[in-house]
Amino acid sequence: MPMHGPARGASDMVPFAACFPFEDIRIMALEHADVLRAAHLARLGLSEDDAAHYLDDLGRILEMVDQLQALDTEGVAPLAHPLDATQRLRADEVTETDQRDRFQRCAPAVEQGLYLVPRVVE
């Protein structure tokens, strides 16, 4: 992997964009279709124009993110939890009472305890 950045422990590392000399590292350029695909996966309504607008922002964010590629992480275990803790299990006991009416009070549309949505099956 090419090292474009300052070496580990270099004393001249500085915080701003100007000091990120990694700009030529692009693992994959973002395309218009990628934005539409992400919007679809996220169920986020986006017009073609919106997508064009986000393409520029997201492209620059990913360009910044691509600086990670300059770092050799071979053999480093991913860290998912800052204390390296694993998910705790609890006894398989009922602890919640039925509060349906209370929780449905903030729903946009309910009827007889059911959430109303547009017809799904014709």
Partner 1 sequence: MHDKTLTELAACLAAGEFTSRELTESLLARIDRLDGEINSLITVTPDAAREAADRADAARAKGEAGPLTGLPLAIKDLFCTDGVLTTAGSRMLANFVAPYDASVVERLKAAGTVSLGKTNLDEFAMGSSNENSHFGPVKNPWDLAAVPGGSSGGSAAAVAAGLVPAAMGTDTGGSIRQPAAFCGITGLKPTYGRVSRWGIIAYASSLDQAGPMARTAEDCALLLNAIAGHDLRDSTSVARGVPDYTEELAAPLSGLKIGLPREYFGDGLDPEVESAVREAVKVYESLGATVREVSLPHTHYAIPAYYVIAPAEASANLSRYDGVRFGHRCEAPTDLIDLYERSRAEGFGEEVKRRILIGTHTLSEGFFDAYYKKAQQVRRLIRQDFLDAFEEVDVLMGPASPTPAFDLGARKDPVSMYLQDIYTIAVNLAGIPGISVPAGFAGGRPAEGRPVGLQILGTHFAEARLLNVAHRFQQATDWHLRRPAFAEENA
Binding region for partner 1 (CB under 8 A): 5, 8-20, 27-28, 30, 34-35, 37-39, 41-46, 54, 57-58, 60-62, 64-69, 71, 73, 76-83, 85, 87-88, 90, 99, 102-103, 105-109, 115, 117-120
CA distance 67 to 70: 6
Minimal distance, residue 17 CB to partner 1, in Å: 6
Q: Side-chain half-sphere of 91: how many Cα atoms within 13 Å?
A: 3
Nearer to partner 1, 14 or 94 (CB): 14
At its nearest, how many Å lie between partner 1 and the CB of residue 116? 9
To partner 1, the closest distance from the beta carbon of 32 in angstroms equals 12
- 13, 17, 21, 25 alpha-carbon torsion, rounded to 10°: 130
What is d(CA 29, CA 59) in angstroms, rounded to the nearest whole number?
7
Residue with tokens 């590629």: 69
CB of 78 to partner 1, least distance (A): 3
Nearest residue (CB) to partner 1, 2 versus 15: 15
Q: Which helix (H) or strand (E) holds 111?
A: strand 110-111
